[in-house]
Amino acid sequence: MTDVIVIGGGAAGWAAALAAAQEGATVVLVEKLAESGGSSALSGGCLAFAGTDLQAAADIEDSPDALFADLREVGQDVNDAALVRTYCDEQLEAYSWLGQAGVRFSPVIETASGQSVPRAHTVDPADMVRALKAAALATGRVDYRPNTAALALEESADRPIPAVRLADGSIAEAGRGVVIASGGFAKNPEMLMQYAPGYAEAVFVAGAGSQGDGLRMGLALGADLRDMDYVKGTFGKHPTDETNDHSLQAVYKGAIAVNQDGQRFVDESISYKLLGDAVMAQPWHTAYQIMDQGIFDTGDDRVRILDFGRRLEEGLFYVGDSLEELARQIEIEPAVLVATVQRYNGYVDAGHDPEFGRTCLVHRHGRLRRIETAPFYAYPSTAVVFGTYCGLRIDSHARVLRADGSAISGLFAAGEVTGGFHGAAYMTGSALGKAVVFGRIAGREAAAAAA
Amino acid sequence: MNIIVLIAGVHDPKWPITPDSEANGLPAASHQVPSPFDEAAIEIALRIREARPDTLITAHVAGGAAGEKIARTIAALNITDVSTVELAAPWDQAATARSLAALCGDADLILIGREFGDYDDGMVPALLAGFLDIPLFARVQTIETQGDIRFTREMDSYVETLKVSSRLLASVTNDRRTRLRKPLMKNVMLARQASIGETVTQSASSSAIGIENMAPRNVDRHQTRCAMISGPPEVQARTLATILWEAR
């Protein structure tokens, strides 16, 4: 009998497998698809870490406490303070641990959604999962089984740890613990309709395996759920482009968001999850990120969500030598768009936006910029649901909890299948960061559980 | 100016091809997208309309009901006159060209991708021009719309430009300078409710020969003597044409 069974081969699953193996446990990792990677490999590749050497090299002052404050603020205090505290206390170790596992970070640290200082540490996400997988397999203690779907968890009186029923009908048993790391439910239309009906017209980008399997398995054992009312999409996805799965965050560099009527509708500096809510309430569920050449030039081709140049090359931007010309291309009344931009520039000059209260580029960071230098750019943007950011309630040891707060014996969970960490909104890099930090905790705790 | 754009569509490469024995081994039509050549032809039509707002664009999409998804993609670009057309023998270039000719009416300009569902043969545009008895300008790459409308094609260091001054059929190839624009979401949503017509051409229905009834043509091969052709390109072309004509 193996010590630990991990269900799912995304970042959380491989982090759990590696951590458990490093503790000396034998591990079976089952992945229902032919290739592991999951939604993690499709993500933007940002991890929210605070106090790293990369930040220090860039003269960025940050700390776990500052990260805690930001995460709580972004989550509007709906999130579980204990989980957030655990993340903040563990994230620096996890960052070093990733480096030891062969994960390479870009030296560029950007400020993104919900961050009061630059702390988006960027990786190639598919490479990161591959590195974790390689490190886990190199321990010699991990038995990787692709094309192996877990269907259910089965409890019995004579077994302290749930057994895993696999699609071939066999039962797999673990001596120490089972870790659910099977991702969210962004590819399960029925669950989406149940939990996030407001996002029916959004774009969905997630691993094909994100079917809510782990949620279903946990629920069957009486697990509690957290944050189910806060499924949100990320603002900035081109509505009709199928080449780029990632959003574009020009608003965080100074662009404004206007709807098809040519009107701003939100403080553009807030979390892109809240921007996602806002854009879904607009006509046609679409807006345009409007900027000038000066803002365009602050794009960064090393950060996907800020790589304006590549999107321009791909023909995704509308470009006009004047705001009127730009407006005509995107079928907005030219005089309306000009008036909107002029009004906004006035707010920038005055240092006060009486309409929506925008005071900075992103989450209290960065001075606003006027939109004034031709050519002008428009990037069509809707919301994309990358992940569901809600699910099984866990504690700081990654144990799955029932509604009464008691832990389900031998059951751990990590990554997108869990709820409680994000709360009402989302900080860039906190989903992939959560997968790694809590995946590592889950693997470690499962390995250490009493046999 | 009245422009007709003829759209063939191709199988979306993002979907695996699952041959259907009941469809004579052809892939299922449910995952069709415009080909890069189709897209370039549409973009050229849109640029002409931008330069000359009185331009009317009509688009015909091959494939009958299976072409509806592509038709809505085109409708989302504010091309309101879009219909699908059933081709009885899409694997037969001559029959396809004959069917398409019946759709062209007296359009001033007919735009078509340089391949039209004919698996790299590129025969349909030439055959269509022949049936319509109008000039063909093949492999158009770019367009100028300032002043006169001019099509350009390039090969190595050669550039050839044609001023569009009379009825013409132009086959279009893909080029990054004529990459198809993205539709606005508003128009995508409106296109979902757009009325898509369906056309069945008489020549298409009368030329319906099932592929199962086809057999290799059993005729003697024509023989001609081997000859080296020399001289400037124009002379070589004329000499070759004469040889082929005499050997027909």
Contact status of A244 with chain B (Cβ, < 8 Å) = no
Q: Which CA distances in Å does B107 have to A187, B57, B129? A: 46, 10, 13
CATH number at residue A71: 3.50.50.60
d(CA B33, CA B57): 20
Q: What is the pTM of this model?
A: 0.73
**Burial classification of residue A450, based on how many CB atoms lie within 10 Å of its CB (0-12 exposed, 13-18 middle, 19 or more buried):** exposed
Domain-ending residue, one of A385, A408, A431: A385
Q: Indicate whether B215 pLDDT > 90.
A: no
| pLDDT tens digit sequence for B133-170 | 999 999 999 999 999 999 999 998 999 999 999 999 99
CATH number at residue A363: 3.90.700.10
What pLDDT, on the 0 to 100 scale, is given for residue A172?
A: 96
| pLDDT tens digit sequence for B5-23 | 999 999 887 776 666 555 5
- A357 and A395 together in one domain: no
Chain A closest-CA separation from residue B209 CA (Å): 38
- A139 and A284 together in one domain: no
- Sequence ranges of the domains in chain B: 2-199
- Are residues A285 and B185, on separate chains, in Cβ contact within 8 Å? yes
Bridge-based pairing of strands B136-140 and B168-172 is parallel
Q: Domain B2-199: give its CATH superfamily.
A: HUPs (3.40.50.620)
- Indicate the number of domains in chain A: 2
Asked if residue A274 is part of any domain, the answer here is: yes
Asked if residue A108 is part of any domain, the answer here is: yes
Contact status of A284 with chain B (Cβ, < 8 Å) = yes
A242, A284, A315 member nearest B186 (Cβ):
A284
What pLDDT, on the 0 to 100 scale, is given for residue A191?
A: 92
DSSP string, A247-265: ---GGGGT-EEEETTS-B-
The pair of three-digit structure tokens given for residue A418, joined into one six-digit string: 């869990």
- Give the residue, B212 or B38, on which the prediction is more confident: B38
Q: Which CA distances in Å does B149 have to A71, B51, B126, B129, B161? A: 58, 9, 22, 20, 10
For chain B, the first-to-last Cα distance in angstroms comes to 39
- A261 and A295 together in one domain: yes
Contact A274, A198 (CB under 8 A): no
- A363 and A342 together in one domain: yes
**Mean pLDDT value across chain B:** 87
Asked if residue A334 is part of any domain, the answer here is: yes
Contact status of B188 with chain A (Cβ, < 8 Å) = yes
Asked if residue A405 is part of any domain, the answer here is: yes
Asked if residue A235 is part of any domain, the answer here is: no
Asked if residue A351 is part of any domain, the answer here is: yes
Across the A:B interface, residue pairs with CB atoms under 8 Å apart total: 33
d(CA A235, CA B157): 45
Cα-trace Rg, chain A? 22
A241, A242, A380 member nearest B184 (Cβ):
A380
Q: Which CA distances in Å does A286 have to A203, A227, A316, A347? A: 11, 26, 14, 24
- A294 and A154 together in one domain: no
Q: Indicate whether B128 pLDDT > 70.
A: yes
B14, B179, B183 member nearest A240 (Cβ):
B183
Bridge-based pairing of strands B109-113 and B168-172 is parallel
- A140 and A247 together in one domain: no
The pair of three-digit structure tokens given for residue A151, joined into one six-digit string: 């269907």
The pair of three-digit structure tokens given for residue A43, joined into one six-digit string: 């993500």
Contacts of B181 in chain A (CB under 8 A): 315
Q: Which CA distances in Å does B173 have to A241, A431, B79, B159? A: 22, 44, 20, 15
What pLDDT, on the 0 to 100 scale, is given for residue A158?
A: 85
Contacts of A238 in chain B (CB under 8 A): 182
- A111 and A66 together in one domain: yes
In order along its 451 residues, chain A shows pLDDT tens digits of 999 999 999 999 999 999 999 999 999 999 999 988 988 888 878 999 999 999 999 999 999 999 999 999 999 999 999 999 999 999 999 999 999 999 999 998 988 788 889 999 999 999 999 999 999 999 999 999 999 999 999 998 888 899 999 999 999 999 999 999 999 999 898 998 899 888 877 888 888 889 999 999 999 999 999 999 888 888 999 998 887 778 899 999 999 999 999 999 999 999 888 899 999 999 999 999 999 999 999 999 888 889 999 999 999 999 999 999 999 999 999 999 999 999 999 999 999 999 999 999 998 889 999 999 999 999 999 999 888 889 999 999 999 999 999 999 999 999 999 999 999 888 989 999 999 999 999 999 999 997 6
Q: Indicate whether B204 pLDDT > 60.
A: no
- A374 and A402 together in one domain: no
Find residues 59-78 of chain B whose CB sits inside 8 Å of chain A.
Answer: 76
What pLDDT, on the 0 to 100 scale, is given for residue A139?
A: 97
Q: Which domain covers residue A28, as residue numbers?
A: 2-230+388-448
Contact status of A239 with chain B (Cβ, < 8 Å) = yes
For chain A, the first-to-last Cα distance in angstroms comes to 11
- Are residues A331 and B189, on separate chains, in Cβ contact within 8 Å? no
Helix (H) or strand (E) holding A279: helix A272-280
